[in-house]
Amino acid sequence: MTRTGSWKAWVIFLGITFPVVCGASDPKAILLRIEQKMSEVKTIEADFTQEKILAAFKRPLLSKGKIFIQKPLLFSWRVDAPVRYCMVIKEDSLKQWDEETKQVQHISLTDKPGFSDVIAQIKIWFSGEYSSLVKEYAVKVLSEEPAQLEFSPNASSPAAEVIKTVRVAFESDERYLREIYIEEKGGDKTTITFSSAKLNTAIDPSAWEVKPDAK
């Protein structure tokens, strides 16, 4: 899979020298502040609602589920409705299951470097390590406290072929995301809103299992 193809796969699943868009606020200082706050969070469990608006259709596609993160190696994305789906990442291994095929697919990230790069950036969006992201993105501060940031891929970034912009908004204490918005070059738009977040609590081991009855 090419790097561009991997980015398209991420969008369907739905990214230091700071190139910034200067304004009244200093993006570098805000990014460092957020990284420090989010670094204090080791585990995350939250509900999410995803709204995807396709350029070719007027009606949005809605899905709901839960996300689990245990830094630095465990990540679980579980869709409960309308069609059940789960993706679990453990170190360099990705497994996914969906209700339609009822099959478990295994992907070795070490064998697919392009796909591995995309998974690494997915983890970064949710973990808050944004210093590594801005090597490929220009950053604009939309709101300072709580922070809202806009990331636009540089022309040389593989993401630029697929993504127009990514916006992230944080909870009032800036320890986790409240919302992430992705606008694609083709006009599709995805908004993921998080709620009922539990931080630094024990996560049920079943969250890391790829099977339909795991929670």
**Structure confidence at residue 213 (pLDDT):** 57
- The tens digit of pLDDT for each residue in 66-88 reads 999 999 889 999 999 999 999 99
- Other CB atoms closer than 10 Å to residue 41's CB: what's the count? 16
pLDDT at 111: 77
Asked whether the whole model's pTM tops 0.85, one would answer no
CA trace torsion 215, 62, 85, 124 (10° rounding): -80
- Cβ(103)–Cβ(212) under 8 Å? no
Rounded Cα–Cα distance for residues 67 and 196 (Å): 11
Cβ neighbours of 148 (radius 10 Å): 18
For the chain, the structural domain boundaries read 3-199
| Residue 176: predicted pLDDT | 93
For the chain, how many helices (H) and strands (E)? 4, 11
pLDDT under 50 in the chain at which residues? 7-8, 10-12, 15-24
Residue 113's φ and ψ, nearest 5 degrees, are -60, -35
Strands 189-199 and 43-53: antiparallel
**Whether domain 3-199 has CATH 2.50.20.10:** yes
30-47 confidence digits (pLDDT tens): 999 999 999 999 999 999
Measured torsion, CA atoms of residues 122, 115, 117, 192, in degrees rounded to the nearest 10: -10
pLDDT value, residue 82: 94
Bridge partners for 138 per DSSP: 152
Can you read off the two tokens belonging to residue 131?
Answer: 């210093």
